[in-house]
Structure 1
Amino acid sequence: MKILVVDDMISMRHVMLHMLRSLDYTDTDEAPDGCQAFDLLQRQHYDLVITDYHMPKMDGMALLRAIREDERLAKLPVIMVSCEDEKDKIKAVIQAQVTDFIVKPFNQETLAKKMKHVEQLINPDICIV
């Protein structure tokens, strides 16, 4: 599974990449904002995007909307990561068809559960335990 990790904080990207590698997801790329992420999505194939909500230039919500509006990318799974607790913003993310949501702070076990959920969506015929 090829995964794009998007976060403006390099330390958070590295934590996420480390967790993913520990879970045997090694085919990863990273981007510091939604603009660069969307550019990468136009040029390469990804199976999943994990993006932060709050970022400069293009935040996670704008990235999610751009993905859903792009015919080629519309069905791409997107996991949003955020410490956001404002109900209206969370509802907007759900209405924009986010695949899953991770609340910061989180641990590797939480990430593993979300990854299993995404894998089940991508490959519904495979039983993942």
Structure 2
Amino acid sequence: MVLRSFALVLLGFMLAGCGSSGPQLGTVDGTVTLDGSPLPQAVVALVPVEGGRTAEGITDDSGHFVIEFAAGSKGALLGDHEVRVTTFREKVIGDNGRVEDPGVPEKVPAKFNRESELIRTVEAGSNHFDLELTSK
């Protein structure tokens, strides 16, 4: 009886896994520069033009980023994406009224974030996008 129950549970897991491999993703990495210098601690978001889940990554000190679709899942949906880059981080004030995090002002012009003019196409496989932004 125990063996039969185990077999049914195992079969259920196997069937649940069939056809549920998730959406097709292309891996995405690259580098962000602003006026020729690496842009550290910037959020790079890929927003699908046709709708769907946004994928994001954060630049390191050299401006390099790797896009994640979800925790532990690298990449972005296939197709055209609006690329948004931002450095803004809101100030955090604690319950005691003191500033816990001073935040970070936006260094990136609106045409590269909330009014982005950047479009990139994510294809199956590996994608590399270098984003050379200017403050003017």
* TM-score using structure 2 length: 0.23
The structure in which a higher percent of residues are helix is 1
* TM-score using structure 1 length: 0.24
Q: Which has the larger radius of gyration?
A: 2
The structure in which a higher percent of residues are strand is 2
